[in-house]
Structure 1
């Protein structure tokens, strides 16, 4: 479905940025994501492309109803990488924002990312991550309480579910090999000075609510990290133990959270070994509790 869009605020003709949203069976959350994206901006400010890939639910119908000006594309293959490729081909507007279907980034915050790229000549920009842990198991709260304080987690583009790219930034990311951890590939595509985290822009990333789902998510991350290392994409390596130690030493609470962080990390790495041995870098191990 292709529709005409109204002009954005300020009289500038056409959309000022594009937003590509891959969505696989996201009927429960896609309306929330699209509503946030429309918040604070006039219709037509962005060219929005939702690529529903391999859906067995009514994600496409919900997306069309929630955002009548969006272009909703349906493909049979359940592949985020293919969905992103199709979405990129469907728009030529830059800067381009890539947005996961289960996170919330307001239109105003998209403008902040786009503005940073245009004003500062950046290749990429990411929002500051907010993870509401109300209703989560205490182990989940403690894991993320520690994880969020690690230096690379605070400054990296990964784990945010949203990032904006210039045309050159998109070219560089598109040249990366297809990986399970696509956001890690994005993070590795840039060096300091080419990107930054825009603290004024906030993205809401809902964490898993149960320890079991947290471990599933971290097994997927550990598997993807191993794949990225084997492909030669992951150059920064694992979080240094020195960073872990310094983080734990910052406060008694972080020191108390450290065993949970280490325990989940070790269990996830052990769980990833089977997939790595089998060369299985496609199983998504999605957690449903964060979508409830």
Structure 2
């Protein structure tokens, strides 16, 4: 396959000084599409959907994919080894064009991605930056709908097709799957927190926290020019009115939550920081906040949640105190390592 590599580290969001080179590896039957354009930003690529020097391998089938799948990956060798086989096993040849954007990887993420056939293209960026990875993948999109998929989740082709139907046949601009939290090895305190969290109305209806968002071409155009935010999935969710987005009940994604209460705290700090950032930019609606009435309704509907509510409230209060005191966000990707595959 053909891998595309940025040979010098970019300033996040700017590729004006980043020459890209092709590195041949594995089978030569992979489509490629990317090149350097001087004085052009990643966001300009994403918003205008420019594809420079696009090349099609004559050995490849010329049928167009039904959609594009963009997977940003930072040290996700094991996650990709789980996600890609499940995603592609039931897919028809050429049905999905999968673009894996490895950024700042020190493991074998790119090599792992390259093992999964000609429908997978690999882009490597030298610096870890999810914003740059999303924009680089977005710059290569030419077939819609487009799915943005986190490398540490798992879903199959049927789940993805169900989301495609929502944005092609039913007219939604954005769609996401039902969320299945995999609670193996998750501590009791973390499980109790998630028991409440999953029942919150904004968590049930929002596109965020699922690791998968599918956009129609019009939906993509709406978000392509947005600035980068810590909570990119919440920003995408808030970009659409309730009637413009949907959660597909016939599509499910497996998501691995934080395994310990301590790692849950760190993850929630990031979320609150992201919400505050969006709020300061005027990009978050009041309905995205948890209200006391929401918690009362959860307990009324499921009385067993009353035992879990104090832990949820203590966790929420502690997170807010930590954020108010200026808790640092750890790492460029700001992610929880306990939810990764051991």
Deviates more, 1:35-44 or 1:133-142: 35-44
Deviates more, 1:262-271 or 1:127-136: 262-271
Gaps of 5+ in 2: 4-29, 32-58
Deviates more, 1:229-238 or 1:137-146: 229-238
CA distance in 1, matches of 2:189, 2:95: 41
Following superposition, the deviation at residue 218 of structure 1 comes to 0.7
Query: Could you say which residue in structure 2 is the equivalent of 1:290?
Result: 339
2:297 is paired with a residue whose SS is: helix
2:86 counterpart of 1:36: yes
CA separation of 1:175 and 1:274: change in aligned 2, threshold 3 A: farther
Deviates more, 1:262-271 or 1:80-89: 262-271
The answer as to whether partners of 1:50 and 1:71 remain within 8 angstroms in 2 is: yes
Query: Could you say which residue in structure 1 is the equivalent of 2:45?
Result: none
The answer as to whether partners of 1:52 and 1:59 remain within 8 angstroms in 2 is: yes
The answer as to whether partners of 2:128 and 2:332 remain within 8 angstroms in 1 is: no
Greater gyration radius:
2
- Per-residue deviation, residues 60-85 of structure 1 (Å, max 9, x unmatched): 11111234431000011211111010
Query: Could you say which residue in structure 1 is the equivalent of 2:77?
Result: 27
2:276 is paired with a residue whose SS is: helix
Query: Could you say which residue in structure 2 is the equivalent of 1:118?
Result: 168
Q: TM-score, normalised by structure 1?
A: 0.92
Q: Which one of the candidate residues 151, 156, 159 is aligned to 2:206? A: 156
CA distance in 1, matches of 2:69, 2:235: 19
1:111 is paired with a residue whose SS is: helix
- Per-residue deviation, residues 125-180 of structure 1 (Å, max 9, x unmatched): 11000001122100111111111111111111011100100011011112322100
Query: Could you say which residue in structure 2 is the equivalent of 1:81?
Result: 131
2:291 counterpart of 1:240: yes
Query: Could you say which residue in structure 2 is the equivalent of 1:135?
Result: 185
2:296 counterpart of 1:258: no
Query: Could you say which residue in structure 1 is the equivalent of 2:157?
Result: 107
Q: TM-score, normalised by structure 2?
A: 0.79
Equivalent residue pairs, number: 286
Query: Could you say which residue in structure 1 is the equivalent of 2:147?
Result: 97
CA distance in 2, matches of 1:82, 1:267: 32
Query: Could you say which residue in structure 2 is the equivalent of 1:269?
Result: 320
Gaps of 5+ in 1: none
More helix by share: 1
Aligned residues: CA RMSD = 1.9
The answer as to whether partners of 1:34 and 1:67 remain within 8 angstroms in 2 is: no
Deviates more, 1:47-56 or 1:263-272: 263-272
CA distance in 1, matches of 2:209, 2:301: 23
CA distance in 2, matches of 1:6, 1:166: 26
Following superposition, the deviation at residue 29 of structure 1 comes to 1.2
- Per-residue deviation, residues 1-60 of structure 1 (Å, max 9, x unmatched): 2614966xxxx9221000000001111211111112113212211000000011111111
The answer as to whether partners of 1:39 and 1:108 remain within 8 angstroms in 2 is: no
Query: Could you say which residue in structure 2 is the equivalent of 1:221?
Result: 271
Following superposition, the deviation at residue 270 of structure 1 comes to 1.9
Query: Could you say which residue in structure 2 is the equivalent of 1:179?
Result: 229
